Amino acid sequence: MALVSIASLVASCTDISGKVAGAITNLLGLASRLQHTESHAKKVIQNLKMFQEVADELEMWLKKEGEISRRLRETIQSSLTSCVEIVNEIEDVIQISDRNSDGRSIPGAYQFIWEEPVVQEFDRMLGAQALIFTSLLHLVKLYVDLLLKIVC
């Protein structure tokens, strides 16, 4: 695996935050046009917003920290890559819905992508990634605090 720098992790966080913002905007537009998607889109939007906040917090922490272990950098990069894949999946669903709608509703053949189990899976995936990042941040902050107590 190539060496992962703090700068590349910060850039990845920025990219993901931008992707999430775009997905939220697209979902809001879709929900306003298509009756069937409104309640489900709101659930996904809530999780996207939460995930965006966690990514922004991770970005700020990375900028402040400056140096973390190679293993932790690789773990964070792996999680960020998974997040991009999740957001891309959500964007694909939005595009399919937009492309196959008549402006008010989605034909039956495509409605399955907005059914409860599919939306719950997106919620689960976003929630899991946000939990991973939040846990990583807490563990690293505890580790740094412990090191500071030992040194001081």
Query: Token digits for 87?
Result: 């957001």
Q: DSSP per residue over 9-70, as a string?
A: HHHHHHHHHHHHHHHHHHHHHHHHH-GGGHHHHHHHHHHHHHHHHHHHHHHHHHHHH----H
List, for residues 76-99, the tens digit of each pLDDT value: 888 888 888 888 888 887 777 666
pLDDT at 110: 46
On the question of pLDDT at 102 being above 70, the answer is no
Model confidence, pTM: 0.71
Residue 10 lies in a domain: yes
Residue 113 lies in a domain: yes
Angle, helices 116-151/70-99, rounded to nearest 10 degrees: 160
CATH code for the domain of 88: 1.20.1410
Residue 44 lies in a domain: yes
pLDDT at 144: 62
List, for residues 17-39, the tens digit of each pLDDT value: 999 999 889 888 877 776 666 67
**Which letter does DSSP use for residue 107 in this model?**
-
pLDDT at 131: 78
Q: How many CB atoms lie within 10 A of CB 98?
A: 15
Residue 111 lies in a domain: yes
pLDDT at 104: 54
Mean pLDDT, the chain, rounded, equals 76
Residue 139's domain spans which residues? 6-151
Domains in the chain: how many in total?
A: 1
Residue 1 lies in a domain: no
Residue 87 lies in a domain: yes
pLDDT at 42: 78
- The answer to which of 8-12, 26-30, 56-60, 148-152 has the lowest mean pLDDT is 148-152
Q: Please name the amino acid found at residue 136.
A: L
